[in-house]
Amino acid sequence: MSLLMLDLDNTLVDRDAAFRAAASAFLRACGLPGEDLAWLMSVDAGGYAPREDVARAVIGRYGEGASGEAVRSLLDRGAADRVVLDDAVRDVLAGAVAAGWTCVIVTNGRTAQQEAKIRRTGLDRIVHGWVISEAAGCRKPAPEIFRTAAATAGACLRGAWMIGDSPHADIGGANALDGVRSVWVSAGRPWTEAAFRPTHVTDDITSAITYVVGRRPHGAPAVRP
């Protein structure tokens, strides 16, 4: 079986859009300035900032204006309650499975949050499995999390592909593994890392999956248009 590993946040789903909606609702509910949305998004850093650091920054900025319960709700459920899976992504991912690819989500994050996103969007009914850093005890780009993904699916890492939006976590992680190729979902950003490069670059996830499926698993028939 040929393995296709996929990042979740800002790759399969638009996590930033979901967090932006949650942050806007948080500011409105607490009677806080709407123009602070840009600041809150920068503090969140696309979900890469540690939850505790974001909570401290928000409480430090607003004091009693932001209750601990409201902040916890934003950070624990905000984005997870709002993520959606675009129909185009659903279709191309299902097509990859039908074409013979074993698809596993590999994501950094907290287990409860990430599993909520996977189940809310119906990804759990499409992919063959998922590995979440909190449960795995290691984070991308550590090789161990990718090896766990392969073991979860009963697949081999040699010949596998990794698709993701993070140069460091996704592409750097794949680059460190023998025989693993990668597609970077750039969203229009330039590649700036000098030490390594992805196998391929696309603007969006649908194009990325389409590219990999076109390489088809070894021994599988070509997919006809």
Q: Give me the pLDDT at residue 216, please.
A: 61
Same domain, 112 and 90: yes
* Model pLDDT, residue 78: 85
Does residue 225 lie within any of the structural domains? no
Same domain? 7 vs 45 = no
39 within domain boundaries? yes
Question: Over the stretch 119-171, which tens digit does the pLDDT of each residue have?
Answer: 999 999 999 999 999 999 999 999 999 999 999 999 999 999 999 999 999 99
- pLDDT at 219 exceeding the cut of 50: no
CATH of the domain at 111: 3.40.50.1000
Report yes or no on 166 lying in a domain: yes
Task: Inform me whether the pLDDT recorded for 177 exceeds 70.
Answer: yes
Q: Are 68 and 159 in a shared domain? A: no
Whether 100 and 35 map to the same domain: the answer is no
**Residue 221 is assigned to a structural domain of this protein:** no
| Stretch 185-191: mean pLDDT | 97
How confident is the model at residue 202, as a pLDDT?
98
Query: d(Cα 72, Cα 59) in Å, to the nearest integer?
Result: 11
Residue 223 lies in a domain: no
- 169 and 65 fall within a common domain: no
pLDDT band at residue 215 using 50, 70 and 90 as cut-offs:
confident
Residues 9 and 28 in one domain: no
* Three-state SS sequence of the chain: CEEEEECCECCCECHHHHHHHHHHHHHHHCCCCHHHHHHHHHHHHHHCCCHHHHHHHHHHHHHHHCCHHHHHHHHHHHCCCCCCCCHHHHHHHHHHHHCCEEEEEEECCCHHHHHHHHHHCCHHHCCCEEEEHHHHCCCCCCHHHHHHHHHHHCCCCCCCEEEECCHHHHHHHHHCCCCCEEEEECCCCCCCCCCCCCCEEECCHHHHHHHHHHHCCCCCCCCCC
Question: Would you state the pLDDT for residue 224?
Answer: 32
**For residue 222, pLDDT beyond 50:** no
* 181 and 90 both lie in a single domain: yes
Compute, in degrees rounded to 10, the torsion defined by CA atoms 7, 8, 10, 14: 150
Domain match, 125 and 67 both: no
Query: Are 172 and 196 spatial neighbours (Cβ–Cβ below 8 Å)?
Result: yes
Give the number of other CB atoms < 10 A from CB of residue 190.
Answer: 6
Look at residues 76, 77, 92 and name the one whose alpha carbon lies nearest to residue 11.
92
Domain residues for the domain of 63 are: 15-78
Q: Do 10 and 90 belong to one domain?
A: yes
Say what the pLDDT of residue 1 is. Answer: 64
Among 78, 100, 132, give the residue marking a domain's end: 78
Determine the average pLDDT of the residues in 70-86: 93
Burial of residue 137 (CB within 10 Å: 0-12, 13-18, 19+) is: exposed
Q: How many domains does the chain have?
A: 2
**What confidence tier does 183 reach under pLDDT thresholds 50, 70, 90?**
very high
Domain assignment present for 162: yes
Residue 7 lies in a domain: yes
pLDDT (0 to 100) of residue 104:
98
Write phi, then psi, for 161 (nearest 5 degrees): -125, 150
Query: Of 62, 78, 94, which closes a domain?
Result: 78
Please write the tens of the pLDDT for every residue from 19-31.
999 999 999 999 9
Residues 61 and 103 in one domain: no
Tell me what the mean pLDDT of segment 13-24 comes to. 97
Pairing state of beta strands 101-107 and 181-185?
A: unpaired
Query: Is the entire prediction scored with pTM above 0.85?
Result: yes
Q: Which of these three, 29, 56, 78, is where a domain ends?
A: 78
- Answer whether 161's CB lies under 8 Å from 183's CB: yes
One domain for residues 111 and 21: no
Let me know whether 54 and 105 are in one domain: no
